[in-house]
């Protein structure tokens, strides 16, 4: 659209300013906000992990203390029996077993599982299951690697207790807590306390779990193999824990945690998405605003470009007929014209050019009236065919003079319309004037009138240069002239069709165009039939 490079560079500067001042800060701010929101999400995640770690640590520590106390008791009983040279028997452990709920049985023997004794609790609630010698033997053998590790640690002076699962996969089955007893330097016995992990959790850890939850969190112990919940401090569906970690003593069980009610994460996430959508709406509004400003400024610039074109076009339009009138006038004044016929030709040219000037000045005046809203129409009942015929009769000689062949197709007996006859003539003249201007070799113009369901129309068809499809909606804008191709050399103000459209609007009618480049154009002025 912009023909001058200054127009283009102004638009580029404007785009740059808009992008730098409005879009970039908006994008930066959005990116910052999204970053901040992700950060707070991470922070919440960290708080959870810390809380879980703390709860887990205190639980583990508690379970560990109990296990350690048990191991010390067994250690003491075994040493006591040895020092009094009594053989180890069920009897020696009776009071230990009866005072510690949850323990089913225990065994003491050598680390290779050749000789050992198994003692079972006589408490009715814990004696759920009797352990046979062969079972214990196969347990010790299967935990060969664990035993070796215990031996290694023991050599550094550290007694460790290892929790191992027995009879994995079956609920109510036992867990073994394995540890070593050093009866003499370098002489080690292997002992194992057999208990049901789940009853341990329910009987011993339960209170501790409730304490650790502190009313704010939900804690649960879940068996990992089948994700079955053993205990939860409140309603916590398995799978909804936010974090989970293994229990030291019972490696096949895990402890899970989440916040009571709506979790912080959910709150944060909700806030995150709400803020994000608000940001998006804001960004979209900014983009629309920027686009609007850009478009308005661009339009204004296009219009000022069109106006300056208009001034140069009109000056050109005025200069040519004025020069002709002056030349012929001077020639006549000097009496240098030879024959009467030639004189008449000169007079006719002067009159024609004066008419052109009048037409142009009228167009400009009408346009300015129209722009200021002062253009008035005198409506009366009008016969469209009559208007067309009147225009044609006064225009025919002009057309013939220019070498145009005129074809007409006047529809008989059109219903009359409510119109301003003079304005309709003016519209028709403008369209015909264009048909003449934009025709080249094929100088045939067809004028038709006709009737559709609701309208009567006048059509002006030419076989001229035609209008590219993308320009067809623009040619009715003020000052607009197609700038491509041949049109460059054809004079005009860019006001003709603007006036026609204004006149048609005033009549509640419309102007339409059907055109193909290189084949010609047909303009149709349709007027509503009076109901
Ligand atoms: P002007 O004719 O003074 O340039 P108009 O408003 O009458 O202004 O027309 C606007 C533009 O539409 C013209 O400059 C021309 O490019 C195009 N146009 C109008 N009528 C025709 C036609 N019959 N054939 C080809 N182009 C046309």
pLDDT per position as a tens digit, 302-333: 888 888 888 888 888 888 889 989 999 998 99
Cβ partners under 8 Å of residue 242, min gap 6: 48, 256, 257, 258, 259, 263, 265
Å from CA of 385 to ligand 1 middle: 25
Crossing angle, helix 90-99 and helix 24-83, to 10 degrees?
140
- Please tell me the distance between residue 481's alpha carbon and the centre of ligand 1 in angstroms: 6
List, for residues 90-109, the tens digit of each pLDDT value.
788 888 888 887 788 888 88
Which residue among 468, 481, 490 is best mutated to probe the pocket of ligand 1, counting the most ligand atoms within 8 A of its Cβ?
A: 481
How high does pLDDT run on average in the chain?
A: 84
Residue nearest to ligand 1 atom 2, measured at CA: 492
Give 170's contacts (C-beta < 8 A, 6+ positions apart): none
14-43: pLDDT as tens digits: 778 877 877 787 788 878 877 877 787 778
CATH of domain 376-528: 3.30.565.10
* CB crowding 294-325: b at 16 or more within 10 Å, else e: eeeebeebbeebbeebbeebbeebbeebeebb
In this predicted structure, what is the pLDDT of residue 462? 96
CA-CA distance, 411 to 456, in Å (whole number)?
A: 10
**Residue 498 CB–ligand 1 contact under 6 Å:** yes
Ligand 1 atom closest to residue 520's alpha carbon, by position in its atom list: 24
Give the pLDDT score at 262. Answer: 64
Looking from the CA of 272 toward its CB, the CA atoms found within 13 Å total: 18
Does any ligand 1 atom lie closer than 6 A to the CB of residue 434? yes
Residue 169: pLDDT band with limits 50, 70, 90: very low
- Asked if the model's pLDDT at residue 190 lies above 70, the reply is yes
User: Which one of 3.30.450, 3.30.1490, 1.10.3470, 2.60.120 gives the CATH number of domain 64-196?
Assistant: 3.30.450
Q: How far does the centroid of ligand 1 lie from the alpha carbon of residue 111, in Å?
A: 108
Cβ(435) – ligand 1 distance below 6 Å: yes
434 C-alpha to ligand 1 centroid (Å) = 6
Residues 332-387 have pLDDT tens digits of: 999 888 888 888 988 988 998 898 888 888 888 888 888 888 888 999 999 999 99
């Amino acid at each position: 659209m912009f023909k001058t490079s200054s127009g283009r560079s102004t638009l580029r500067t404007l785009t740059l300013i808009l992008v730098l001042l409005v879009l970039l800060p908006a994008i930066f701010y959005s990116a910052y906000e999204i970053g901040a929101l992700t950060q707070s999400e991470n922070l919440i995640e960290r708080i959870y992990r810390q809380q879980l770690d703390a709860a887990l640590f205190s639980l583990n520590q508690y379970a560990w203390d109990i296990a350690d106390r048990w191991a010390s008791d067994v250690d003491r009983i075994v040493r006591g029996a040895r020092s009094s040279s009594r053989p180890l028997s069920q009897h020696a452990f009776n009071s230990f077993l009866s005072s510690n709920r949850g323990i089913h049985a225990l065994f003491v023997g050598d680390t290779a599982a050749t000789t050992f004794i198994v003692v079972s609790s006589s408490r009715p609630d814990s004696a759920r299951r009797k352990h046979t010698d062969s079972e214990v033997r196969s347990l010790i053998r299967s935990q060969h690697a664990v035993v070796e590790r215990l031996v290694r640690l023991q050599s550094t002076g550290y007694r460790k207790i290892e929790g191992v699962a027995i009879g994995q996969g079956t609920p109510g089955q036992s867990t073994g807590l394995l540890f070593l007893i050093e009866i003499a330097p370098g002489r080690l016995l292997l002992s194992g306390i057999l208990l049901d992990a789940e009853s341990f959790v329910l009987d011993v850890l339960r209170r501790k779990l409730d304490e650790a939850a502190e009313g704010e969190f939900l804690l649960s112990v879940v068996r990992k193999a089948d994700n079955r919940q053993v205990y939860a401090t409140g309603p916590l569906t398995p799978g909804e824990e936010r974090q989970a970690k293994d229990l030291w003593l019972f490696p096949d069980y895990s402890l899970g945690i989440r916040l009571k009610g709506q979790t912080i994460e959910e709150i944060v996430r909700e806030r995150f998405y709400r803020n994000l959508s608000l940001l998006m709406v804001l960004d979209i509004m900014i983009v629309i605003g920027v686009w609007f400003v850009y478009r308005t400024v661009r339009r204004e610039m296009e219009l000022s470009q069109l106006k300056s074109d208009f001034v140069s076009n009109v000056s050109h339009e005025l200069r040519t007929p004025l020069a002709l009138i002056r030349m012929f006038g001077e020639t006549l004044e000097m009496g240098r014209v030879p024959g009467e016929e030639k004189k008449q030709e000169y007079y006719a040219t002067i009159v024609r050019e004066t008419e052109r000037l009048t037409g142009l000045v009228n167009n400009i005046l009408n346009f300015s009236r129209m722009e200021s809203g002062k253009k008035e129409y005198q409506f009366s009942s009008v016969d469209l065919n009559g208007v067309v015929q009147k225009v044609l009769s006064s225009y025919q000689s002009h057309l013939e003079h220019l070498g145009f062949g005129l074809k007409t197709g006047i529809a008989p007996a059109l219903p009359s319309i409510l119109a301003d006859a003079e304005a309709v003539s003016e519209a028709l003249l403008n369209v015909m004037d264009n048909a003449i201007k934009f025709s080249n070799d094929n100088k045939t113009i067809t004028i038709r009138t006709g009737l559709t369901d609701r309208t009567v129309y006048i059509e002006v068809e030419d076989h001229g240069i035609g209008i590219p499809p993308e320009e067809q909606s623009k040619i009715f804008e003020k000052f607009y002239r197609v700038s491509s191709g041949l049109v460059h050399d054809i004079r005009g103000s860019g006001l003709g069709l603007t006036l026609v459209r204004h006149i048609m609007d005033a009549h509640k009618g419309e102007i339409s165009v059907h055109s193909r480049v290189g084949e010609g154009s047909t303009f149709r002025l349709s007027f509503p039939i009076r109901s």
